[in-house]
Amino acid sequence: MKKTYKIDVDCANCANKMEEAAKKTSGVKDAVVNFMTLKMAVEFEDGADPKAVMQNVLANCKKVEDDCEIYL
């Protein structure tokens, strides 16, 4: 399953860091952050709960960039 989320990030470098943090999150098969559109596309692993996984993605992204936001 794929879902797209609106994000709030300050720079392209931070967007890359958020993408890497999302990809390392358990339950995420793949993630792509587009800084120009301020969107994050996340593909979830089979059987993963998107809401629970995205809470972990947000927590991991905040470790990298503490003022980032993902609108769940």
Instruction: Catalogue all structural domains in the chain, each as residue range(s) with its CATH number.
Output: 2-71 (3.30.70.100)
pLDDT at residue 17, rounded to an integer: 94
Pairwise pLDDT comparison (44 vs 67), residue with the higher score: 44
pLDDT at residue 64, rounded to an integer: 87
**pLDDT confidence tier of residue 65, bands split at 50, 70 and 90:** confident
pLDDT at residue 57, rounded to an integer: 97
pLDDT tens-place string over residues 3-52: 999 999 989 999 999 999 999 999 999 999 999 999 999 999 999 999 99
Q: Would you mind telling me the total number of residues written for the chain in this entry?
A: 72
